[in-house]
Amino acid sequence: MSGEKNGLPDETKLFEMLTQLGMEPTGAPVPRFGHMLASAYHTCKTCRSVEECEAWLEKAKAQTCVSAPPFCVNNELLAEFLFEPLMRKD
């Protein structure tokens, strides 16, 4: 385990994914998103696409991304986060 982010152990690629999509996972808490973020974290922990995710994140560093990759088990949830102004960095 490499530490904690947003109160959850940082052993998944979820926070990297959120950051790559322009979100601030450690920003101001959004009432219902706390439970959703915890759910996404636990779903990410059991994902079988870790290598594919790592490759996507590495490639995505060089570009602006507007959505999670299709293989992501949290794709729909991350899309919902994208439309929440309090989750955005900008």
Domain locations in the chain as residue ranges: 4-87
Q: What is the pTM of this model?
A: 0.75
Q: Is the separation of the CB atoms in 62 and 20 below 8 Å?
A: no
d(CA 44, CA 18): 12
DSSP code, position 40:
H
Tell me: the pLDDT tens digits for 48-89?
A: 999 999 999 999 988 888 899 999 999 999 988 888 766 766
How many CA within 13 A on the CB side of residue 2?
5
